[in-house]
Structure 1
Amino acid sequence: MTTTVDRGQQARELFKQAYENRYTWDNNFPGYSADFELEIGYDTPLGRSGDKVLAAGTYTGSVSVPADLSDLNGIEVSGVSDPLAAEWIVNQIKDVITHRKRSDFESAHGKHEFALGGEADATGAVPISVGGDAMGSHYKIRDRQVVQVSRTMGRMSFVINHLDKLETETGYVSTAYTAVFTDPESGEVLNQLKFEDSYAEYGGYHLMAQQIVKGQSKGKPSYTRVTFSNIQIG
């Protein structure tokens, strides 16, 4: 007989395997610098309030990322003509660090409760819910990989579906995925975006070389492309 405890432990183990199978930068990560070219296809509101708008156009500059990934204030952008473009780049790098910064499973999820959300779907993905993170997180796990994330954060809900990946010797990196953002009360679709990421290896570390995002935001078309070049480790 399978008990609730057994099913909870099964869900925890499936999630842990996927969590530990992600590609992350190790504790010797030296930081890096790069030049960037940012193409904004349409005037783009920034932040949750949307009161700041980055005008459509192409922006260039340089960015440096500190070795200490806990110091997000250490991200520095220079040589860019518009401070809002610099803000966009900083937010982009913060998002990358969130996914690449190494953290052990117990530190990140040791206090959370895990539950199987039902049977595997037609693709073999197993639904798992995670309690205790205050965000109502739900995942689908297949082949030691997270293939779907759904979560509610305040006045925003989102579902991310992962479509493709880069396999490295120490874990996988998602390289293609869609994100749909909705109003959790009305169900209104706010944003629908598709991401295509590419990576290159420098000094033994896989770093983002380009990201292209296409879709619509609040009913208007959205397109961004950022390319990083002249990447220097350390």
Structure 2
Amino acid sequence: MTQTLTAQDAFRAAYENRYTWDSNFPGFTADVSFTNGDASHSGQVAIKPDMSFEVTGIEDEAAKKEIEGQLWEITVHRVRRTFEESHGKNSFEFGEKYEDGAQEIKVTGASMGNSYNIKNDTVTFVNRKIRSVIVNINTFETLDTPEGYLSLGYDSVYFDAETKEPKGGSSFFRDSFDKIDGYYVLTKREITAKENDEVVGEKVFAFTNIKF
């Protein structure tokens, strides 16, 4: 008897295909450089086995917060949680099927109104409401590894949740990873901010001398 794949099955496959660090992740230290336009800052970072992190050697508080924000982004996407831990209070249903082969997955339950597009066990689009803002994330390029995929090129666009009008322009991300001591680690992130298709800011975060 042939078993029909449900929307939850399809989304679970994509969720579990993301690259994450395993329970043996030992943490690491690295040198960090942050360039924001003409300003540059250098210091050190540490991500610990429990996914807590710290930034040292940078006195500029605004620059330090920028780097802390990136460390939060890194850890939140690499931490390993089961599907039930992340989505146990949600239900899923199929939405639109697109010409490129992507399948829309609509979310009901605790995260009602959110949606995803999946293709080849990869999440290619995220539509998520965060309080008064809706964020759309389009993934254009991925790195496929034996342990799951990593996003290399993607953008984020924000909208007002009430009016659906664009809010704050868009940001394009370009990530680079190296495999070090068995773990893929972000070594460079370039962020280009645009408003009305014009570049209004460029930031580069580089992580070197990575030691586990």
Contact 2:177 2:187 in 1 (8 A): yes
Q: Is the 8 A contact 2:192 2:199 kept in 1?
A: no
Please tell me the root mean square deviation across aligned C-alpha atoms, in Å: 1.9
Instruction: Tell me if the contact between 1:38 and 1:60 (Cα under 8 Å) persists in the aligned partners.
Output: yes
State the Cα deviation string for residues 154-207 of structure 1 (Å, max 9, x = none). 221111110001111110001100111111222332221110000011110000
3-state SS of 1:117 partner: strand
1:12 is aligned to 2:8: yes
Residues 7-156 of structure 1 aligned to structure 2 (within 5 Å): 10-41=6-37, 57-69=39-51, 72=52, 75-118=53-96, 120-134=97-111, 136-156=113-133
Please tell me whether the aligned partners of residues 135 and 153 of structure 1 are also in contact (alpha carbons under 8 angstroms): no
Q: Taking structure 1 as reference, are residues 224 and 133 closer, same or farther at Cα in structure 2, changes over 3 Å only?
A: farther
Q: In the TM superposition, what is the alpha-carbon distance from 1:217 to its structure 2 partner?
A: 5.7
How many pairs does the alignment contain?
Answer: 208
Q: Summarize deviations over 1:66-92 as a string: whole Å, max 9, x none.
A: 1112xx3xx111111302211111111
Instruction: Report SS of the residue matched to 1:191.
Output: strand
Q: Give the counterpart letter for 1:224 in structure 2.
A: K
Query: Which runs of at least 4 in structure 1 moved beyond 6 Å after TM superposition?
Result: none
- 2:87 and 2:131 map into 1 onto residues whose CA distance is 21
Q: Which moved more, 1:151-160 or 1:200-209?
A: 151-160
TM-score (norm 1): 0.84
SS in 1 for 2:19: coil
User: Matched residues in 1 for 2:91 and 2:28: separation?
Assistant: 37
In 2, Cα distance between equivalents of 1:197 and 1:122: 27
| TM-superposed deviation, 1:135 | 6.0
Give the counterpart of 1:165 among 136, 142, 146: 142
Q: Percent identity?
A: 34
Deviation readout 1:106-165 (Å, 9 max, x if unpaired): 2211221111113x1011000011122346210001000000001111221111110001
Q: Please give the alpha-carbon distance, in whole angstroms, between the structure 2 residues aligned to 1:39 and 1:111.
A: 40
| Separation of aligned partners in 2, 1:109 and 1:57 | 41
Indicate how the Cα distance of structure 1 residues 80 and 217 shifts in structure 2: closer, same or farther if over 3 A, else same: farther
Paired position in structure 2 for 1:53: none
Q: Supply the distance in 1 between the matched residues of 2:73 and 2:133 (Cα, whole angstroms).
A: 18
Secondary structure of 1:148's counterpart equals strand
**Structure 1 SS opposite 2:58:** coil
Q: TM-score, length-normalised on structure 2? A: 0.92
**Structure with the higher fraction of residues in strand conformation:** 2
* Residues 135, 179 of structure 1: alpha-carbon distance in 2 compared, 3 angstrom cutoff: farther
Output the CA distance in 2 between the equivalents of 1:155 and 1:223.
26
Report the counterpart of residue 201 of structure 2 in structure 1.
222
In the alignment, structure 1 segments of 5+ residues that lack a partner are: 1-5, 42-55
Q: Could you list the per-position Cα deviations for residues 18-58 of structure 1 after superposition, in whole angstroms to 9, with x for gaps in the alignment?
A: 011111000000000000110112xxxxxxxxxxxxxx611
